[in-house]
Amino acid sequence: MSNEMNDDSGTELPWWQPVLFAALAGGMGWGIRGQYGHETGAMIPGLLVSLTLAFLLCPKATSRQVVRAIAWGTVAMGFGGSMTYGQTVGLTHDAPLIGNWGALSWGMLGLAIKGGIWIGFAGVFLGMGLSGIRYRASELLLLMIGLVGAYFLGVALLNGPFDPANKVLPPLYFSDHWRWEPDGALEPRRECWGGLLLALMVTIAYAGWWCKDRLAPRLGLWGMLGGALGFPLGQSLSAFRHWNPELFQERVWSGLAAHINWWNMMETTFGAVMGAMLGLGLWLNRKRIMPAEYRDADCLPVAAEWILLAVHLALFVVVAFLARPVMTTLRDLGLGKIIRILALYNLGLVMGIIPVVVVSRGRWSPYLVVLPITLLPIAAKTLRQLAYTEPAIGPAVGWFIYLIVPLSLATVAAIWFARRAAAGQTGPDFVRPTLLLATWIYFSLNFAFFRFPWPWADWTGRTPNGIIFTICAIALTALCLSGRRHPPDALPEQADSP
C-alpha cells in the first residue's frame, strides 16, 4: 500500500489562506470547547479545522473522498480530552507558585507535551483520510484495539507509580506535586499522557511504516508541533497576567483586563496556533493530498452500519449523561462487569473505536459523525446548563431551541449530503454549506451559553471572547461565500514539499 505524489491538486493557493482560516477555525472552536470540555468538546475544533482545510486544499475532490478525512480528524481531536491538565496549568500561575521559575518551566513543559499529543492525533488521522491510502475497516479495528493496549502500557511505564497517600508520584509528573509545594495540602491527579503518547507513536508508525502513507505521519508531526507551541503560548498570556498584576491595574489596561476571561483566552490562543500549524503543515504537503475514492461495493451493509452507530450512541449517552442512575441500577443488580465496561467507554480512544471503523466503510456514518453525532453532546450540555443547572429558559422551550432544532437541522443535512454523494457531489459543494452550518450552530449555542454577551450591553468576562468568536465566524462565512479560490487548471509546483 503506497501513495504517489498528487500532481493535479491545484497548488496555487497561497500559504497564508490555510494558515489564517484554520487559525480562525481552531481559535473559535477551541475557545468554544472550553465551555463543554473533555473529548466531545475537543471535537468542535477538530471539525471546524478539518472542514476549513478540506475546503481550501481539496477543491477537486468528491464529497465521499473528503468526508472520511473530516470525520476522522474530528473524532481523533477528541482522544486527547482524556488527559488532565488543570493542575499543569496551575503550576504556571497558582498564587503559591508565583515567582517560582522551576514550577513555571515544568508546567510549560507539561503543557507542551500534552498539547503535542492532543493535536498530533488529529493531524495523523486527518492525514490518513487525505493521503490516498484505502485503510481497511478490519485493520482499523485492530489498530484501535492495539492503541487501547498501548495506552495502558504507556500509562504503566510513564505515569506510574501513583500513590499520593504515601506521596509517591511518577518521575515525570506534571500536576500538583510536593516538589513545588512541600507543605501544601495537595490532591494530585492521575495522569495518562504517557499512554496517549505511546498510542500516538503506534498510530504514526502504522500509517507511515506499515501502510507507507507519506502524508499522515508528516501531518501528525505538524499537529504535535502545533499543540506543543499552542498550549504553552496560550497559557503564557494567563501566567503573565498572574505574575504581573500591577501592569493590569494601570488605567490603560484596568478596564479591559477586568472583563477578560484569561482561561478562555488561553484556550482561544491554543486553538488558533494549533490550527495555523495544521494549515501550514498541510499546505507544505499539499501535493501529497489525494483522498481515496470509495465505491458502494466497498461499503458496509447499511443494517450493520446503523446498528454500530446505534450502539455507539447508546453507550455514549449512558456514560455522558446517565452514568449515575445507570451505574447505581447495575450495581444493585450485581452487574459489576458491565459497570467496568461502561467506565472504560469514557476513555477517548475507546469511545473512538466504533466511529473510526464505521466511518472507514460507511455510506451514511461519515456524514452523521460530522454533523449530528458531533453536535449531540454540545447541544445536550447547552440544554442542561441553560434549562436545568442555572435556568435561563424553560425546559420545554430549551429542549426545542437548544436540542431539537439544531439536531434536526444537522441530521437532515447529513442525510441529504449522503444521498447527494451517491450522485457524485463535489467536495466543495459538501464542505461549503457544512462549514457554514457548523460554524453558526456552534457559535450560536456557545453565545447562548455565554448569556448573549452583546458588545453594546454591559461587559462581562465573556464579552471579549464573544467578540473574537464573532469575528472568526464572520471570516469563515466570508470564506464559504467567496468565489473559486484556485484557477481550474492550475499546475502544481514541481519542487518536493517537506
pLDDT tens by residue, 261-309: 999 999 999 999 999 999 999 999 999 999 987 777 678 888 999 999 9
Confidence grade of residue 335 (pLDDT, cut at 50, 70, 90): low
Least confident of 46-60, 328-342, 385-399: 328-342
Give CA–CA dist 136/138, Å, rounded.
5
Name the one residue in this structure whose C-alpha cell is 500513590: 163
The whole-number average pLDDT for the span 130-151 is 95
Asked if 73 and 22 touch (Cβ cutoff 8 Å), the reply is: no
- Residue 486, domain member (yes or no): no
Reported pTM: 0.93
Confidence grade of residue 498 (pLDDT, cut at 50, 70, 90): very low
Four-CA torsion 15, 21, 25, 28, nearest 10 degrees = 120
Confidence grade of residue 483 (pLDDT, cut at 50, 70, 90): low
**Residue 488, pLDDT score:** 40
- Residue 2, domain member (yes or no): no
What is the distance, to the nearest Å, from the Cα of residue 248 to the centroid of all Cα atoms in its chain?
Answer: 32
Least confident of 127-141, 189-203, 329-343: 329-343
**Residue 11, pLDDT score:** 53
The whole-number average pLDDT for the span 13-37 is 96
- Residue 9, domain member (yes or no): no
The whole-number average pLDDT for the span 456-467 is 94
**Residue 341, pLDDT score:** 75
Asked if 153 and 256 touch (Cβ cutoff 8 Å), the reply is: no
Give CA–CA dist 291/294, Å, rounded.
10
Crossing angle between the packed helical segments 193-205 and 216-243, to the nearest 10 degrees = 150
| Tens digit of each residue's pLDDT (9 = 90 or more) over 224-259 | 999 999 999 999 999 999 999 888 877 667 677 778
> How distant, in Å, are the alpha carbons of 109, 155, 186, 469 from that of 272?
19, 29, 33, 11
Q: Give the count of domains, the chain.
A: 1
| Tens digit of each residue's pLDDT (9 = 90 or more) over 206-218 | 999 999 999 999 9
Average pLDDT taken over every residue of the chain: 90
Which residue blocks in 293-352 are alpha helix, DSSP H?
A: 302-321, 323-332, 336-344, 348-351
**Residue 292, pLDDT score:** 83
Question: Residue 62 — φ and ψ, nearest 5°?
Answer: -90, 170
Residues 6+ apart with CB under 8 A from 25: 45, 48, 49, 51, 52, 275, 439, 472, 476
**Residue 475, pLDDT score:** 98
67 vs 495, which has greater pLDDT? Answer: 67
* 426 bridge partner residues: 62
pLDDT over 50 at 5, yes or no:
no
Which range, 249-253, 334-338, 348-352, is most confident? Answer: 348-352
Which residue blocks in 450-483 are alpha helix, DSSP H?
A: 463-481
Give CA–CA dist 70/49, Å, rounded.
9
* 62 bridge partner residues: 426
The whole-number average pLDDT for the span 415-421 is 94
Residues 6+ apart with CB under 8 A from 79: 39, 118, 121, 196, 199, 348, 349, 352
289 vs 8, which has greater pLDDT? Answer: 289
Q: How many CB atoms lie within 10 A of CB 7?
A: 11
**Residue 251, pLDDT score:** 64
The whole-number average pLDDT for the span 459-465 is 93
**Residue 485, pLDDT score:** 46
The whole-number average pLDDT for the span 480-495 is 50
- Residue 498, domain member (yes or no): no
The identity of residue 151, as a single letter, is Y
3-state helix, strand, coil in the chain (%, to 5): 70, 0, 25
- Residue 122, domain member (yes or no): yes
- Residue 260, domain member (yes or no): yes
**Residue 434, pLDDT score:** 98
Q: How many CB atoms lie within 10 A of CB 481?
A: 9
**Residue 338, pLDDT score:** 73
**Residue 233, pLDDT score:** 97
| Tens digit of each residue's pLDDT (9 = 90 or more) over 62-87 | 999 999 999 999 999 999 999 999 99
pLDDT over 60 at 9, yes or no:
no
398 vs 9, which has greater pLDDT? Answer: 398
Question: What range does the domain containing 231 cover?
Answer: 16-481
Question: What long-range pairs does 376-381 form, CB within 8 A, spacing at least 24?
Answer: 376/313, 376/407, 377/36, 377/40, 377/41, 377/316, 377/320, 378/36, 378/40, 378/41, 378/44, 378/442, 378/445, 379/403, 379/406, 379/407, 379/445, 380/320, 380/321, 381/35, 381/36
pLDDT over 50 at 194, yes or no:
yes
- Residue 91, domain member (yes or no): yes
- Residue 495, domain member (yes or no): no
pLDDT over 60 at 489, yes or no:
no
